[in-house]
Structure 1
Amino acid sequence: MIENNMIPDDFLSLASVQAAEEDALLNRQNVVGVALGTKWSGGRDTGEKAITVLVDTKMPHEMLREDDLVPSTLAGVPTDVQEVGVLQAGRSIAAPKANGSPSVLDDVPSPALSRPDELARQQVGPFTLAKRFRPAFGGLSVGHFKITAGTYGTAVYDATALPGKPAKYYILSNNHVLANSNAAAIGDPILQPGPFDGGVVPTDVIARLSRFVPIKFIAAGQPVPLNFVDAAIAEGQFHDLDRRIFWVGDLKGTNVAPAVGTVVQKTGRTTNWTTGRITNINATVDVNYGGGRVARFAQQLLTTDMSAGGDSGSLVADLSENAVGLLFAGSPVVTVINRITLVEATLGIRVHP
């Protein structure tokens, strides 16, 4: 554990049960994650706190071995089995979509323009964020020169440089976007737009890989290592990088303890501006990176589906423009987010002055 997990008081007793039962649950057939949330019934949130067990496919009880069944309660705490499909990072790149695909919550207002020259989201075509911009800003296509494309989250500073005038400025995104899932070398070129969207060396080099948190993959016969973030930064020039996130604006702070039910927003390369709700906290999930590689991540946030391939690296904020996390994986059902406090701690950065 890197830091206090900031679990709300009303979930603390459930977190203790989760910690005791998690490994056994993750060893069951089809289970891809365990988290804290609320119980759903008939498509409705009952509001009853529960331990959520995520499965790739729900199967009839008669098709499962007895020791693969998820009990209805654990130490008196209700369980809730949710089918989420396979959780993937670096999903197959998708063609850019209109704003609101895959989802914009009905009760969330359209974003205010963060700058006078910014177009309303209804006026922006689906390919806008896949184009080249200088200065570049959050939400745009970006990527290591050997990948397809991901999303520029925001621009950040070294934590040690504040207060004061930072000497360096970085793009924040995922390891699998900026560091090619551990395969990159420090100093490698980062392109904006990403290669899939036409970015080439040297014309579109906007930054150089500065540092990344290595992803530890599961190896047969070895203890399962825990990851907390899929994150990296690349150093660029001040005049080329903007902290602003399109349709979100400049971040005003960090939300260190986002709660179940919190409405969040992001702008990403593929689905542009979308919103969702946090459905689960303190999630431990197994994420597929392709090529048979799977990595286990702890202390994650889960939201309703708000992303697609190419949105990896998007900065997720609440509706008060406080940073919540860094989007890195998902399925057609859920989106998986690294908590921003863990991203800042592991990379030694700050996302706002």
Structure 2
Amino acid sequence: MDEVVKNIVDKYWKKISKKRNVIGYSGKLQPKIIAHKVFPSRKSFRIYVIRKEKVKDLRPRDLVPGILRIGQDYYETDIIEIGLPKALSNKDRRRPICGGISTMHYGFEDDTACTLNGFFKDNQTGTILQASNNHCFSRENKASIGDPVIQPGPYDHGTEKDVTGKLYKYVEIKFSTFSCPIRNFLVKTYRALFGINPKNKVDIAFATVEVPYEIIATYIGKYNGKRYNISEG
């Protein structure tokens, strides 16, 4: 968020947000728009409304000030009608990618539904990585580093054209039982003799991010029909 916008929000937003139809604002100053014409030199504080109404149809308390003062500087407001925003399906293809949407390793036949959990920074390299569960990105330790990750996942009709990154690293899952009965017997005997109890403290795998991404909350509770705020940029 721009420093100027932050100051405007701190000073004015609590009051502006209570006005009729107001639902959000831009996180940075935007060019003024008048009669569908953009004026790049006139930076304004953009306010989003469900419906733009004529001044005569609004109560005085619902009128948004045309000018806002911050210190010795003055900034115009710009009212933009966007309707009532609707969230995109978390199963559809989405760019930029974000937490909460469908994703999966690509290349195995036993596809299932998985979720992109969020983004992390590798402390050693500073690389931003996308994260999901082990079985989603590394297929229970069976995948190879560098394998493709797609969004949406195959279960939600994702294809090789939807690659968002490659398997980067993962925390190996330790299994208590195996399909081979002889191996089960030997492993159980070994663990009993040496007091080994395999425990998985985390279930996570990481992939590179090779498409635009954004860090947002895709779902926060149930919309109550009253008011919510939108911040962009």
Larger relative helix fraction? 2
Larger relative strand fraction? 1
